[in-house]
Structure 1
């Protein structure tokens, strides 16, 4: 059921509250939820067992078409599933159409049957980021919804934040801003919940982390500053040794710890993570692990002010790129965008081992690693989901594909009650042991353009492997350090060969970057490549109010004992 979006009056709220309460009671009867991106505190861990193999007609409970593309992940609230998508524009990367027809959707699905219960499509606010560069790769529905068990919240970037009850009745809506960061990649950070607060990372829209009262929608506080740049991370909360909670937010040149009660800055670490951070930190035993593209860093929580020297446990090169890590039993695991699995010692950051999964192909991976009770899962865009175990030693259990669906898989998993949910650009799948559905029974649309190589496609369309209009945007200085596996601050052809970039791009980068012809691209040569990077001409939405913001937000003064 598709309903035009319209906010109800406050007089309806008591009735809606009763309906929401009854829906919540029904939902909780199923006991297990997966209410946000990557589950509880975005850790990517599910304690139950899940199927280890599936396919077009194997262990498939149901499959349904989605109203359009998207890279957001589904969430599970009792017997309801929520997922977002966009349509009307950008479905064909070569012929995107009229951006004025862009529409975003929040879809509610019954978990038992796959029946669509309702769909809401709030109005799009313009201007929007242009459909070019990596916007063509992730589109306009990249943020995963979040739920408190009675309401569902969705962030649609420049079009705002929306709250609905579980029956689809609109509760409140707020705008957060209409700017764009230097890469012009659009919105990508998923909202999260802390106690009574809905936390929204509006980095792209207004250089701010904003806390809303999740019930009323009133703004409680905002952290806004010029240094708040480059973050597509979901806000996560950790507990320091003294028992205090801290929101951890990685930015381009710093990592911040924010007091959730006041929104004031408690501490910061100066570390250049690059011009974009797609990953979300994981936290354990009072330590935050931030795995960006060019760096992975461990920070002890509980500091005050500049804690770069005092609270940085370790820092290393060669991060995962897009997928977020998993912390488990003293080890930090991540799958790189290049499809290589890394196991690092959480205490030191040193590599324990590395494995290329799924054969020798360049398995481009955006989905974050997920650990279930009986198996680990890593989903590639095109080569299927790799199920593997680590005990007693690394073993690939299976590689699972939906052969008839040729569109990319870029979201992360959701899991509850022994079932897995994943989405492609075309379908939402429910994987369950004994499932008897058949993908052949669903009408399948052929992709409107080949995705045989996402990186090559972007480069061919844009003319450059580096994206954004500004010379401040993503470039070789960050990109190359993603592949510095041996942490020696220079890139060899062997390291570059492990990247997800096409071979012709690797050859081009080595030819242009290795100025002194010693067989490596060193730090000075990376800076030269960065300086030679040219920005794109044309109108930029840009930062309209950056000059009016403080460089760094107000710092929380530690109370005297």
Structure 2
């Protein structure tokens, strides 16, 4: 984004905020195109938590023909791969002092977004024209992204974590299929799934839960497999080879949890202290890469024995809140100033 919120001492005029959808050349970082979306309303001021991550936190998604991005109260946008806008649709105009963070997911001919901040709902839009296909109300205090969970019988469920519960829906219709009690707190981390089991963490009490998808109604007693007192209030977990790995956002702790039993395999403090971690870890080449906000990146062995392989010093003085992306043997990092 540009125009507003680039300097906390002199943020500028909120009406000058412009969000950007950019295409960069992977080989050299050159900007191939820059599609700009001027703000259509007043955002929360650039201060406090809003200033920690700005006004373009979500990750775009592509089906290979178009790319889709979510800009909070400024809506969902679709563009061609050569940078032409196709449509722009509002999914709500509410704002929050923490901003907006959820990323869209694609299912068949739908773009699905968690508009908890903007309208308290999950919203599915047609990929072709941006018109609403369905809306599910009652999503409370959720900055997490929805995920798609394939089941053994060939069906796919849409699962989202929000205050008080995990819920599963039919992604085609938005019909609610099941719910499972979870922590009574706001939720930022996005769940992960493997072999039909959903793993979620979150809350200031740092809880983790495993739930078997595919149920009906309240599945708290029938499909909840385990709970654990470990987690992160912001960054999401990753699943790898039968274990969950995640970093606590403020304690500087790395966790490994057995995905079958929920037992904590290790909880170890990182050295040097990472400070705040908002970015979610990624697994590549048998290693876990975790990027801290201001103290560089930590590389851990992706195995159930704690091993800190490397601490990489910060690249510059900018703030790294975005999760890294991996392409081949390259890792793409995004800060509040650079890619």
Fold match by TM threshold 0.5 = yes
Partner Cα distance (2:184, 2:217) in 1? 19
Would the aligned equivalents of 1:107 and 1:120 in 2 still touch at CA under 8 Å? Answer: yes
Q: Is the 8 A contact 1:242 1:302 kept in 2?
A: no
Please, what is the CA RMSD of the aligned residues? 1.7
- Contact preservation (8 Å) 1:382, 1:408: yes
SS at match of 1:308: coil
Partner of residue 57, structure 1 = none
Structure 1 moving runs of 4+ over 6 Å:
none
Structure 1 residue matching 2:38: 3-state secondary structure:
coil
2:326 is matched with which residue? 415
Residues 241 and 301, structure 1, Cα contact 8 Å, conserved in 2? no
Q: Unmatched 5+ residue regions in structure 2?
A: none
Listed as ranges, the matches of 1:154-193 within 5 Å are 154-180=69-95, 184-193=97-106
Find the partner of 1:118 among 33, 42, 67. Answer: 33
Cα distance, 1:189–1:391 mapped onto 2, change above 3 Å:
closer
In the aligned structure 2, how far is the partner of 1:358 from the partner of 1:350? 24
1:308 CA drift (Å): 1.3
For 1:180 and 1:95, the matched residues in 2 are separated by 22
Quote the Cα distance in structure 2 between the aligned partners of 1:133 and 1:251. Answer: 23
SS in 2 for 1:122: strand
- State the Cα deviation string for residues 465-515 of structure 1 (Å, max 9, x = none): xxxxxxxxxxxxxxxxxxxxxxxxxxxxxxxxxxxxxxxxxxxxxxxxxxx
Which of 122, 130, 135 is residue 45 of structure 2 equivalent to?
Answer: 130
The residue that corresponds to 1:469 in the other structure is none
Q: Distance in 1 between matches of 2:44 and 2:220?
A: 35
Shift of 1:354: 1.1
1:209-288 equivalences under 5 Å are 209-225=122-138, 228-275=139-186, 277-288=187-198
Give the match's secondary structure for 2:52: helix
Residue aligning to 2:243: 331
- Measure the CA separation in 1 of the matches of 2:98 and 2:248: 20
Separation in 2, partners of 1:95, 1:300: 49
What are the within-5 Å matches in structure 2 for residues 402-551 of structure 1?
402-403=314-315, 405-428=316-339
- TM alignment of 1:22-171, pairs within 5 A: 86-171=1-86
Structure 2 length-normalised TM: 0.94
Deviation at 1:392, TM superposition (A): 8.7
CA distance in 1, matches of 2:303, 2:243: 13
Contact 1:367 1:411 in 2 (8 A): yes
Q: Distance in 1 between matches of 2:26 and 2:198?
A: 34
Matched residue, 2:268? 355
TM-score (structure 1 length as normaliser): 0.58
> Counterpart in 2 of 1:290?
200
Whole-angstrom CA distance in 1 between matches of 2:84 and 2:110: 20
Return the offset for 1:393: 4.3
Quick check: 1:291–1:319 contact (8 Å CA) kept in 2? yes
* Rg comparison, structure with higher value: 1
Count of aligned residue pairs for this structure pair = 336
The secondary structure found in structure 1 opposite 2:124 is strand
SS at match of 1:309: coil
Alpha-carbon displacement from aligned partner over 1:160-200 (angstroms, at most 9, x marks no partner): 1111101111111111111235xx32211011111221111
CA contact (8 A) 2:278 2:292 kept: yes
**Structure 1: any 5+ residue segments left out of the alignment?**
1-85, 429-561
CA contact (8 A) 2:87 2:129 kept: yes
Change (3 A) 1:316 1:90: same
Match of 2:120 among 185, 207, 210: 207
Q: CA deviation at 1:263?
A: 0.6
Quote how far apart the aligned CAs of 1:220 are.
1.3
Q: Pick the structure with more helix per residue.
A: 1
Quote the Cα distance in structure 2 between the aligned partners of 1:125 and 1:392: 48
**Contact 1:241/1:302, CA 8 A, preserved across alignment:** no
Distance in 1, matches of 2:287 and 2:256, equals 16
Please name the residue that 1:550 is paired with: none
In the alignment, the residues of structure 1 paired with residue 299 and residue 228 of structure 2 have an alpha-carbon distance, to the nearest angstrom, of: 27
Query: What is the alpha-carbon distance in structure 2 between the residues aligned to residue 310 and residue 244 of structure 1?
Result: 20
1:368 equivalent to 2:316? Answer no
Tell me if structure 2 keeps the 8 A contact 1:210–1:221.
yes
Task: Give the superposition deviation at 1:208.
Answer: 1.0
Task: Report if the CA contact (8 A) 1:106-1:119 is conserved.
Answer: yes
Give 1:273 shift: 4.2
Greater RCO, 1 or 2 (C-alpha within 8 Å, sep 6+):
1
> How far, CA to CA, are the matches of 1:217 and 1:134 in structure 2?
30
